[in-house]
């Protein structure tokens, strides 16, 4: 029996079948279009992503919101009733959403209601597939029988080592969310420029470079990974590629990764979920891996 119950949110952007297969509980974000609320589906319904991109093609902009204290409270309480051990919830990073603050508040109130029970919330400082890697690492340690406190301490000490390196070929949605200025987005579109971005040490998106064309963007993204891992070409850790409706560019990135890092045991390829894609739009390829601490990346 596992020593604690592990939980996350749907924005890990790995398939639900994989996450549930690892005995990880999930709280789903939602988005809204025309007053109708939809789950961040994680691939449970094969038609869900097509419906989402259909909205975008029709010029409908999905709205997203943080998970409130009420939903966290109900969710955590259901887990407390399901399982009699400690609960470790890894939340999407505060640099992307303030929801984690609501999770902490809900956990505190439930610990008062259920004396002797622990509901620990960790701010992952991660998003998308990087968030997925952190949760996957926690599941590895849990399955190895590591004690609850040791896993919590390790995650807090190492969460900033999960790198998020990405580029986009369509800046319309980054412009809309304020992550790239309107003028920069217009110029980039005209000149075919792809901004090179990452999450900094506090989990915020930083556009720190730009290249012309998709091929160069892919090359730069992989070269940056080579700089950020201690093992160089010998890197053999976890690696995830997520994309928003641009499978061709994602596959090209995977092939270059295989050539650059021949010892990689596996490269997980997954879709960017509807919550992240509501802000990135189509045309984003993101690379996630374990590297040197994300310090001084502002």
The pair of structure tokens assigned to 233 is 């070409």
pLDDT per residue as tens, the chain (298 positions): 468 999 999 999 999 999 999 999 999 999 999 999 999 999 999 999 999 999 999 999 999 999 999 999 999 999 999 999 999 999 999 999 999 999 999 999 999 999 999 999 999 999 999 999 999 999 999 999 999 999 999 999 999 999 999 998 876 666 565 555 555 555 455 457 888 999 999 999 888 888 989 999 999 999 999 999 999 999 999 999 999 999 999 999 999 999 999 999 999 999 999 999 999 899 999 999 999 999 755 5
CA distance 175 to 268: 29
Task: Work out the widest C-alpha separation in the chain, in whole angstroms.
Answer: 60
CB 271 within 8 A of CB 13: yes
pLDDT at 208: 86
Rounded to two decimals, what is the model's pTM?
Answer: 0.94
Count the Cβ atoms, other than its own, within 10 Å of residue 85: 15
Q: How high is the pLDDT of residue 96?
A: 94
pLDDT computed for residue 40 by the predictor: 98
**Cα-flanking dihedrals φ and ψ of residue 286, to 5°?**
-125, 135
Structure-token pair, residue 274: 């509807």
Distance (Å, whole) CA 85 – CA 123: 21
What single string gives the DSSP state of each residue in the chain? --SEEEEEEGGG-S-HHHHHHTTEEEE--EEEETTEEEE--TTSSTTHHHHHHHHHHTT---EE-PPPHHHHHHHHHHHHHH-SSEEEEEEPPTTT-THHHHHHHHHHHHHHHSTT--EEEEE----HHHHHHHHHHHHHHHHTT--HHHHHHHHHHHGGGEEEEEEES--HHHHHTTSS-HHHHHHHHHHTEEEEEEE-TTS-EEEEEEEESHHHHHHHHHHHHHHH-TTGGG--S-EEEEESS-HHHHHHHHHHHHHH-TT----EEEEPPHHHHHHH-SSEEEEEEE-S---S--
Q: Smallest Cα–Cα separation from 242: which of 168, 172, 176?
A: 168
Looking at residue 178, its pLDDT comes to 54
In the chain, the domains with their CATH numbers are 4-159 (3.40.50.10170), 161-290 (3.30.1180.10)
Report d(CA 244, CA 272) in Å as an integer: 5
């Amino acid at each position: 029996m596992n020593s604690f119950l592990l939980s996350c949110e749907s924005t890990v952007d790995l398939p639900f079948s994989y996450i549930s297969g690892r005995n990880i509980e999930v709280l789903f974000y939602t988005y809204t279009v025309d007053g109708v609320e939809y789950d961040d589906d994680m691939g449970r319904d094969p038609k869900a992503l097509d419906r989402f991109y259909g909205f975008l093609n029709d010029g409908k902009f999905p709205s997203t919101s943080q998970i409130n204290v009420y939903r966290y409270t109900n969710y955590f309480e259901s887990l407390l009733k399901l399982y009699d051990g400690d609960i470790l919830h890894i939340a999407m990073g505060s640099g992307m959403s303030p929801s984690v603050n609501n999770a902490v508040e809900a956990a505190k109130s439930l610990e008062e209601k259920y004396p002797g029970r622990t509901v620990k919330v960790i701010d992952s400082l991660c998003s998308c597939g990087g968030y997925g890697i952190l949760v996957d690492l926690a599941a590895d340690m849990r399955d190895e029988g590591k004690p609850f406190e040791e896993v919590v301490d390790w995650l807090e000490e190492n969460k900033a080592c999960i790198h998020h390196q990405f580029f986009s070929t369509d800046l319309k949605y980054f412009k809309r969310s304020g992550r790239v200025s309107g003028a920069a987005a217009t110029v980039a579109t005209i000149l075919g420029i792809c901004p090179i971005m990452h999450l900094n040490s506090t989990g915020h998106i930083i556009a720190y470079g730009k290249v012309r064309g998709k091929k160069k963007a892919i090359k730069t993204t992989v070269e940056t990974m080579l700089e950020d891992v201690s093992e160089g070409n010998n890197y053999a850790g976890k690696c995830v590629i997520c994309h928003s409706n641009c499978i061709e560019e994602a596959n090209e990135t995977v092939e270059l990764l295989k050539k650059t890092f021949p010892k990689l045991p596996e490269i997980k390829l997954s879709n960017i979920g509807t919550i992240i894609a509501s802000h990135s739009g189509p045309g984003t390829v993101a690379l996630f891996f374990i590297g040197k601490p994300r310090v001084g990346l502002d």
